[in-house]
């Protein structure tokens, strides 16, 4: 049996060109290889996209927390925690700079910082425009400590941020 198979194989091997079976096998192997490469590249692309979104959310959250930290812990003499008509948290603070105050509010899925001085008033976003701010919560922990929590969402990715702020120059009070 082996000799018969070897004779047939030698006969096929000595002829010029590919056999149909060899061509089909090579095409099937190439197709399988292409499917594997495509499947793994899609997975790698999706994971890279998720990582980029997570990095952007982390940067946006760090930025927001750093502005809040500077304004609430270092620059404020009086911080007032209240709720607006929808029940969303509002934080107002009077700063060490005479006549300047800030008000942080959640509006239209974004956190806004309203700055007011003796003669001027302005409102600026404190969030990255393509990120939604959700679950904005602010609580007085004690007379000098404030707890801030929020969730950022960009496309399908979400990250939750929570931080305690110890107010060095001011006191925290609940609105009456």
Residue 17 banded pLDDT, cuts 50, 70, 90: low
On the question of pLDDT at 9 being above 70, the answer is no
Residue 61 banded pLDDT, cuts 50, 70, 90: very high
Starting at the earlier edge strand, list the strands of the sheet with 171-174: 121-125, 110-116, 101-107, 89-95, 76-83, 171-174
Q: Which residue has the tokens 């007379």?
A: 143
Output the pLDDT for position 96: 83
Output the pLDDT for position 53: 93
Query: Tell me: the pLDDT tens digits for 113-142?
Result: 999 988 888 998 888 888 899 989 999 999
DSSP state of 97: S
Mean pLDDT of 14-32: 76
Q: Mark 115-133 as b/e (b = at least 16 C-beta within 10 Å).
A: ebeeeeeeeeebbbeebbb
Mean pLDDT of 1-28: 71
């Amino acid at each position: 049996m082996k000799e018969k198979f070897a004779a047939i194989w030698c006969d096929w091997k000595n002829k010029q060109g590919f056999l149909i079976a060899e061509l089909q096998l090579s095409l099937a192997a190439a197709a399988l290889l292409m499917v594997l490469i495509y499947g793994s590249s899609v997975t790698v692309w999706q994971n890279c996209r998720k990582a980029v979104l997570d990095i952007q959310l982390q940067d946006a959250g760090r930025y927001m927390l750093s502005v809040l930290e500077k304004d609430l812990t270092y620059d404020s003499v009086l911080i007032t925690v209240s709720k607006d008509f929808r029940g969303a948290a509002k934080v107002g603070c009077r700063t060490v700079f005479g006549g300047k105050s800030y008000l942080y509010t959640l509006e239209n899925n974004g956190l806004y910082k309203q700055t007011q001085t003796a003669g001027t008033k302005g409102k600026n976003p404190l969030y990255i425009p393509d990120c939604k701010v959700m679950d904005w919560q602010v609580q007085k922990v004690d007379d000098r400590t404030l707890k801030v929590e929020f969730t950022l969402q960009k496309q399908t990715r979400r990250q939750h941020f929570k931080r305690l702020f110890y107010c060095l120059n001011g006191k925290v009070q609940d609105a009456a």
